[in-house]
Structure 1
Amino acid sequence: MTGWAEQEYPPRVPMGLGGWIRVAVRGLLLGGLVFGGLILLLLIRLIEKPIFGLRRPWTPWLTQFVCRTAFVILQIKFTASGSLMTERGAVVANHSSWLDIFALNARKRIYFVSKSEVASWPGIGWLAKATGTVFIKRDPKEARAQKQVFEARLLAGHKLLFFPEGTSTDATRVLPFKPTLFAAFFSDDLRDDMYIQPVTVMYHAPKDQDPRFYGWWGDMDFGPHLLVTLAARTQGQVELVYHTPVAVRDFANRKELAAYCETVVRGGHRLLAQDAKSAKIPRSTS
């Protein structure tokens, strides 16, 4: 039986002249926003870093503005519900697309945890470094050093965000959560004070498009997927649900915590999918 990741990708939608015009207009605006914001962020960091060190009281606000404005340019509806966590700790979410970076930054000021390879990607790697992303290596020899980095950032008050699935999906499912990164929160210095907030991310495809329209997985190239997203005549919606934060100390180990977060995120994803199929109830933009 063929696994979901080996399924055929959604058929490419012919763009036509109108599509290419939308690519040009949206692409120029989005590029100007992102890289203009990057330059401004780096200039602000020249002042912010010497004064505050690991703490970043100014630049996350700029990142949040850029990400929210990106959805305005793309004309993708952005909605969110649920209260933001005020306690120290991390956010975990399901992972469907490169658009997750914009969506999760748009509502909450967070710092992503990403695999080390991303740091060397042209464009994306620069943005990730500038916005304070924590890079990790899948090497047991690095576990101790990475744990220390985690602790330093969390104790500095940073809200870290990571994707426990370990990969992106086709936007129609939630994969099992891997417990590896949850281990850092069970150290003696963190366990009693840290909280984890599960977040469900749900993409609703444009009308009459494949439900996997916004999904980015497998061997998909970033460029073609970006073009199709920019070219869409009508766009869909991304919806975020922030679930109740839980205290790390209430769980016996990382596996229990990962399983709980997976259950909550998966349940939220299922409910949003059911809502979309039955009756699309408008949700307040947040």
Structure 2
Amino acid sequence: MSTWNAELEPDPVKITPMGWVRAVLRGVPLGLVTFGCLGLLLLVRLIERPIFGWHRPVTPYITQFVCRMAFVFLGMQHRVTGVRMKHRGAVVANHSSWLDIFTLNARKNIYFVSKAEVAKWPGIGWLARATGTVFINRDRREAAAQKKLFEDRLTAGHKLLFFPEGTSTDGQRVLPFKSTLFAAFFSDALRDFLYVQPVTVIYHAPIGEDARFYGWWGDMDFGTHLLKTLAARRNGAVELVYHTPLKVSAFDSRKALALACEEAVRSAFPDAA
């Protein structure tokens, strides 16, 4: 998977003594709620899974609660424009940061599609597996199996969310959408009833900070970026723009659908490059 890099790298992260205090005061309760609710989710899933299988009538709301609380602890505004899709199908969005996981889960019950290596990351990997993330390898030899997995999850009513750009950015641009993962929607079993909803994610940096403050790209270290966010004197905001859902059967190819989604996401993005 390729990684996007900016021509101008951000300034080195410097944490003041008060910044460390803020990081602790925000990070400790966030960690307690996140991993405490992870334990609760796993217990509930022990009952939920044998009864409901792929369906998860309870645990997604535990995930949503954690994600909403994250913004409370961070002191970060979370704004929404548009109507969330009720049709069966998938959601696609531009990708700026690990914060996207919290941002998009806070308002809608969704299941992320992620690269396989994320499953091995400490902390995030455990959370991703527990919350039903679909892990994929970008290997053509596994394409058929991954397409079948997509079909099973979509048929079960799961709303899968993926980032067609294929990488995260500095949050100041929308990259061209790759069409590969859209192929699963065009199977005979799915295309006539599935919709795809494009969503634009816009981060607003804290006052006085670099506009790219929340962007996470290139060789940035996750721990350092998390610490910077927790230590910020005053956090900014994130805005979600939900666009009109697109019916898969209205498009004659995955590339046409991917392009339409990209154009919708880009239309609400300020000064997209």
Place the TM-score, normalised by the shorter chain, in its bin.
over 0.9
Alpha-carbon distance in structure 1 between the residues aligned to 2:267 and 2:177: 13
- Written as runs of structure 1 = structure 2, the 5 A alignment for 1:144-159 is 144-159=144-159
> For residues 230-253 of structure 1, what are the alpha-carbon distances to aligned partners after superposition, in whole Å with 9 as ceiling and x for unaligned?
000111100000001010000010
Whether the aligned pair in 1 keeps the contact of 2:13 and 2:224 (CA below 8 Å) is: no
Hey, what does 1:261 align to over in structure 2? 261
Alpha-carbon distance in structure 2 between the residues aligned to 1:69 and 1:109: 15
Alpha-carbon distance in structure 2 between the residues aligned to 1:168 and 1:17: 30
Alpha-carbon distance in structure 2 between the residues aligned to 1:19 and 1:89: 42
Hey, what does 1:204 align to over in structure 2? 204
Alpha-carbon distance in structure 1 between the residues aligned to 2:119 and 2:20: 30
> For residues 64-123 of structure 1, what are the alpha-carbon distances to aligned partners after superposition, in whole Å with 9 as ceiling and x for unaligned?
010001000011111111111111000000000000000000000000000111111111
RMSD: 1.3
1:133 equivalent to 2:133? Answer: yes
- Written as runs of structure 1 = structure 2, the 5 A alignment for 1:103-114 is 103-114=103-114
Whether the aligned pair in 1 keeps the contact of 2:30 and 2:73 (CA below 8 Å) is: yes
- Written as runs of structure 1 = structure 2, the 5 A alignment for 1:81-230 is 81-230=81-230
Whether the aligned pair in 1 keeps the contact of 2:90 and 2:196 (CA below 8 Å) is: yes
Alpha-carbon distance in structure 1 between the residues aligned to 2:65 and 2:9: 32
Alpha-carbon distance in structure 2 between the residues aligned to 1:159 and 1:16: 41
Hey, what does 2:55 align to over in structure 1? 55
Q: What's the CA shift for 1:60?
A: 0.3
> For residues 104-147 of structure 1, what are the alpha-carbon distances to aligned partners after superposition, in whole Å with 9 as ceiling and x for unaligned?
00000000000111111111111000000001111111011001
Alpha-carbon distance in structure 1 between the residues aligned to 2:150 and 2:67: 24
Identity, in percent, stands at: 67
Q: What's the CA shift for 1:33?
A: 1.2
One-letter amino acid of the counterpart of residue 185, structure 1: F
Alpha-carbon distance in structure 2 between the residues aligned to 1:230 and 1:224: 10
Aligned in 2, Cα 1:13/1:117: closer, same or farther, shift over 3 Å? closer
Aligned residues: 270
| Structure 2 alignment gaps of length 5 or more | none
Whether the aligned pair in 1 keeps the contact of 2:6 and 2:170 (CA below 8 Å) is: no
Q: What's the CA shift for 1:25?
A: 1.0
Alpha-carbon distance in structure 2 between the residues aligned to 1:95 and 1:33: 25
In the TM superposition, structure 1's runs of 4+ consecutive aligned residues that sit over 3 Å from their partners are none
> For residues 29-87 of structure 1, what are the alpha-carbon distances to aligned partners after superposition, in whole Å with 9 as ceiling and x for unaligned?
11111111110100100110011000000000010010001000011111111111111
Alpha-carbon distance in structure 2 between the residues aligned to 1:4 and 1:93: 16
1:71 equivalent to 2:71? Answer: yes
One-letter amino acid of the counterpart of residue 89, structure 1: G
Bigger mean CA deviation after superposition, 221-230 or 4-13: 4-13
Q: What's the CA shift for 1:5?
A: 1.4
| Structure 1 alignment gaps of length 5 or more | 274-286
> For residues 227-284 of structure 1, what are the alpha-carbon distances to aligned partners after superposition, in whole Å with 9 as ceiling and x for unaligned?
110000111100000001010000010000000000010111137x8xxxxxxxxxxx
Task: Output the TM-score relative to the length of structure 1.
Answer: 0.92
- Written as runs of structure 1 = structure 2, the 5 A alignment for 1:231-246 is 231-246=231-246
One-letter amino acid of the counterpart of residue 103, structure 2: A
SS of residue in 2 equivalent to 1:107: coil
Hey, what does 2:7 align to over in structure 1? 7
SS of residue in 1 equivalent to 2:252: coil
Q: What's the CA shift for 1:4?
A: 7.2
SS of residue in 2 equivalent to 1:45: helix
SS of residue in 1 equivalent to 2:158: coil
